[in-house]
Amino acid sequence: MKQLIECVPNFSEGNDMGIIKQITDQIESVEAVRLLNVDPGRATNRTVVTFVGEPQPVIEAAFRAIKKAGELIDMSKHKGEHPRMGATDVCPLIPIANITMEETAKVAQQLAKRVGEKLHIPVYLYEAAQPNKERNNLSVIRAGEYEGFFKKIKEPKWKPDFGPQEFDAKRGGTVIGARDFLVAYNVNLNTTSVRRANAVAFDVREAGRNVEENGKKINKPGSLKSVKAIGWFIEEYGIAQISMNLTNINITPVHIAFDEVCKKANDRGIRVTGSELVGLIPLKAMTDAGKFFLQKQKRSTGVSEKELIRIAVKSMGLDELSLFKPEEKIIEYMLHNPEDNKLVSMTLTDFADETASESPAPGGGSIAAYIGSLGASLATMVANLSSHKKGWDDRWEEFSAWAEKGQQYKDELLRLVDQDTKAFNRIMEAFSLPKGTDDEKKIRKEAIQNATKMAIEIPFKVMQAAFASMEVIKAMAENGNPNSVSDAGVGALCARCAVMGAFLNVRINAAGYDDKKFTAEILEKGKEIEFKTINLEGEILKIVESKIEA
């Protein structure tokens, strides 16, 4: 499996799109990396760039971008609201997939060494890449900013980790490190006062503020852990903001940060009007936020991913200053391959037309998965209707939990719609491989067997998910909104159809697989699921009939 690292360099230019484009062109010139986001800020005069790739291509792309930024940006003329010390001010690497923080730190050290030695730029390591814990904090390293580093760099304790011990007037210095996923997040206020914005920032940030008690200065921490914050005025929008770095969103997620700023601002007579994300955010952070705000309203959280994101955007006012586009702001969406959900992205008419065409895929396996998703969807609908039913207010959490479960089964079955067709296409590709020599025959046979195993496993997963969804369907037939009991009944019929249809695909593909021990085991499990499904369908329909006739 590929190791993936995210790189988020911050360049000290936010107004000249020509300069920004030349820098990002360098990143895109490295074939194996993917540029995800370019986020320029006029007031900060700073651009946050995000790209992803395997370790060595990421090093190459970052090196080229740092080199180009040093050529194009003159720090002696730079003005901006954000703290900064170099043309490439900071360049963090973040582990994304199949790579540890320790490994990412070593990659950051490789990049820093190359920048220092080849480009002759003073480079400081920070966070996990910095072995000296006394100088691993970015704000401590950057203290004094560009203007103060001409003197600071001469101090023995501030000798750069790599590069010359002389501050470069044009390019400044660069900080390179490895860190956890950081969310840069700004909250908008209905004031122009930086002093008042800073007061709120000090109230919430972990570092807090220094206060005097009994003649002594002591530190009073803020209310949020793993949060850095300052107040500033954004001339472009004519408002003050709380600018925050959420350094560990597992400790303080974005919705908690927003809510706490709202409380502290309100205590000081200030209103929060909205917020903005700088750069990208993980999908889970957005769906968690959506659930949080729905729970505050005592509403069901068992709604679609799309709806959770919409609730999060509206609740935090993420679209106040500019349009919030999930496909451009959520990291998983940026990495998404459209081929992964080609079928389920179609309209109902196009999907039916594609199924009816002379192409053998999508076939029965994909249709079984889709029917199963409709069964889970009906159960989820009943749960949501029950959660919001007048007079059942004390049961909203019970039905919300069922709706969340139903959504999970629905999403899994939808994913399997395209997976089943992919499995079929892999078999066709394997059969088309050359077979002129003994080696080619061997490779072809192995590919056919691997593809066949996948074509057995995918519909078996459909069976498992559709059968599991019947737990939700039965609960809704028994305890859900009685006006929707027929919908639960139709859900049961869909689930049964999905299980039996998928099992036909398991059986036909098992006939072509050489590992008979594997096929015997999976067919035995399939028969058991089919048997249990038919019985459970009968139980659910009996409940439905009794309620319809009552």
Of 332, 305, 174, 317, the C-alpha closest to 255 is 317
Q: Which long-range contacts (CB under 8 A, 24 or more apart) does 442-449 make?
A: 448/512, 449/513, 449/514, 449/515
Distance separating alpha carbons of residues 455 and 520, to the nearest angstrom:
15
DSSP codes, 50-62: EEEE-HHHHHHHH
Q: Which long-range contacts (CB under 8 A, 24 or more apart) does 72-75 make?
A: 72/13, 72/19, 72/22, 72/23, 73/11, 73/12, 73/13, 73/19, 73/170, 73/171, 74/170, 75/12, 75/146, 75/169, 75/170, 75/171, 75/172
Distance separating alpha carbons of residues 241 and 197, to the nearest angstrom:
6
Q: Is 82 a catalytic residue?
A: yes
Question: Cis peptide before 9, with omega less than 30 degrees from 0?
Answer: no
435's tokens: 């077979």
Q: Which of 82, 168, 259, 288 is catalytic?
A: 82
Q: Is 336 a catalytic residue?
A: no
Look up residue 524 and give its amino acid: E
Dihedral pair phi/psi, residue 388, rounded to 5° = -105, 10
Q: Which of 259, 288, 420, 487 is catalytic?
A: 420
Of 489, 291, 481, the C-alpha closest to 383 is 481
Distance separating alpha carbons of residues 317 and 522, to the nearest angstrom:
50
Of 383, 339, 366, 400, the C-alpha closest to 478 is 383
Residue with tokens 């062109």: 25
Look up residue 320 and give its amino acid: E
Catalytic machinery residues:
82, 420
